[in-house]
Amino acid sequence: MLALCSAPVLARDWHDELPQAKQLGSGEMRWFGLRIYSATLWSEHSPFNENAPFALELIYHHQIKHERIVETSIAEIKRLFGQRFSADKLQKWETLMSQAFPDVADGDQLIGIFIPQQGCRFYDRVGLRATINDPEFAEAFFAIWLDPRSKDSSLREHLLGITK
C-alpha cells in the first residue's frame, strides 16, 4: 500500500526515523565513466544488519525522468530474483514507484528507509514522499544495491564499508 504526502507524516525528515544512524559507507554509481549518483548507507548498527532499519541516500548528478528510475529498478529486481515475483506483483510495484519517485535533477536527493517486516518510506529534501507498506517490495528494492549479486559489486562494498 502506498501513502503519498497526504498521509500523516511520521517524521519531519528521515533523520527522525533513525536518530542514531551513522554512515556505514558511500560510493558512486557510474555509467560509462559518467557519475550518475552518489550513494550513502546509514544505519544504527555496525557492522551492517540487513534485518534492522537503515537508510540509503542517493544524490543525483544528472537529470533523470522518474519513468527511467522505475524501469531500471524493475529490471534489476527481475535480474536478481528471476521469476520469484509474478507479473501482477511487478506491475503493482511499478505503479507504486511511479507515484513515489519524482523526476530528478543534478543535486536532488532521495532517501529510502528500510523498515523490517513493514516496508519502506521515501524522503526527499522537503520531507516524506511516500510510504509503501509491503515488506517484500522493500527487500527486493534495497537488494538492488545490497544483495551480493548486485550489478555494481564495488558500490555495494563501498556502501557496506567492506572495501579493502
Beta bridge partners of residue 128, listed in sequence order: 123
pLDDT at 134: 97
Q: What pLDDT does residue 162 have?
A: 87
Rounded (5°) CA angle 67-69-75: 100
Q: How is the chain split into domains, by residue range?
A: 2-159
The confidence score (pLDDT) of residue 164 equals 53
Q: Which CATH class is domain 2-159?
A: alpha beta
Name the helix (H) or strand (E) containing 145: helix 135-146
Give pTM, 2 decimals: 0.90
Q: Is 32 left (phi over 0), alpha (psi -120 to 50) or beta?
A: left
Residue 101's CB: how many other CB atoms inside 10 A?
A: 22
Q: Residue-wise pLDDT tens for the chain (164 aa)?
A: 444 433 334 446 788 889 899 999 999 998 888 899 999 999 999 899 999 999 999 999 999 999 999 999 999 999 999 999 999 999 999 999 999 999 999 999 999 999 999 999 999 988 999 999 999 999 999 999 999 999 999 999 999 998 75
Q: Is the peptide bond before 47 cis (omega within 30 degrees of 0)?
A: yes
> What is the predicted pLDDT for the residue at 4?
41
**Phi, psi (deg, nearest 5) at residue 41:** -105, 130
